Amino acid sequence: GENVEQHPSTLSVQEGDSAVIKCTYSDSASNYFPWYKQELGKGPQLIIDIRSNVGEKKDQRIAVTLNKTAKHFSLHITETQPEDSAVYFCAGLPSDKLIFGTGTRLQVFP
Amino acid sequence: NAGVTQTPKFQVLKTGQSMTLQCAQDMNHEYMSWYRQDPGMGLRLIHYSVGAGITDQGEVPNGYNVSRSTTEDFPLRLLSAAPSQTSVYFCATSPGLAGVEQYFGPGTRLTVT
């Protein structure tokens, strides 16, 4: 079955710097890769997603890149702000079940 | 619209007790799912449903039952609670049938002693 690995598990950056979180997946049938942000005490919230026929997608300060050949995808956050501090999860969708990575705790220091 | 609601928010059970975690949505989504979240393990799929009357198992279904009699509701039943079921449980819905663009509820924190 699908296995999604996520790195790093924790990431600390200074406000204004960029943050990059990387995920690899094992099942080449995966064709949808979302990223979720989870704030303390809340449920995960979808922030951006990408499908396998696209190499990159941007939404303001957030971007996701996908390399199907290498089976990895990354989340890029530019000009980080304290409110970006949260846990971020990547996921892959090989069939009809989302398989999540183990999460990255991002801390943005003012 | 309330979106996805879950009750209760917190629950403490003793080993062997049973209970039902409630999930309701008002978005008319066909796809609903239950996840558990444990430290260092991300979110793991317990059961899911692609429509009323249809359910299927996820990664970690043992010890849990589900049913889907209406589009709006998808309850998760713990048959005989065990300490290993101590976790935070999230319900999620999706407008598609394949689990894309999932909307998560606020979660239920369950402790089994």
* pLDDT above 80: residue B97: no
β-bridge mates for residue A49, sequence order = A34
d(CA B68, CA B70): 6
What is the per-residue pLDDT across A20-45, written as a single tens digit (0 to 9) for each?
Answer: 999 999 988 888 999 999 999 999 99
Structure tokens at A89: 């999860």
What is the per-residue pLDDT across A50-91, written as a single tens digit (0 to 9) for each?
Answer: 998 889 999 999 999 999 999 999 999 999 999 999 999 999
**Beta-carbon separation of A46 and B99 below 8 A:** no
* pLDDT above 90: residue B39: no
d(CA B101, CA A79): 26
The reported pLDDT for the residue numbered A14 is 98
Quick one: average pLDDT of B31-46? 92
d(CA B76, CA A102): 23
* pLDDT above 90: residue B2: no
Residues of A in contact with B42 (CB under 8 A): 6, 89, 100-103
Q: How many CB atoms lie within 10 A of CB B56?
A: 14
Quick one: average pLDDT of B23-35? 95
Q: Do B45 and B35 contact (CB within 8 A), yes or no?
A: yes
d(CA A7, CA A28): 20
d(CA B107, CA B6): 6
CA distances from B70 to A24, A54, B12 (A): 37, 36, 28
**A77, A78, A80, A85: CA torsion to nearest 10:** 0
Quick one: average pLDDT of A9-23? 98
The reported pLDDT for the residue numbered B40 is 80
**Residue bearing tokens 């009750």:** B7
**Residue type at A11 in one-letter notation:** L
**Residue type at B89 in one-letter notation:** Y
* pLDDT above 90: residue A1: no
The chain-wide mean pLDDT, for chain A, equals 94
A54 touches chain B (CB under 8 A): no
Q: Which of A32, A44, A97 has its CB closest to that of B45?
A: A97
Q: How many CB atoms lie within 10 A of CB A50?
A: 20
Q: Which of A43, A97, A103 has its CB closest to that of B99?
A: A97
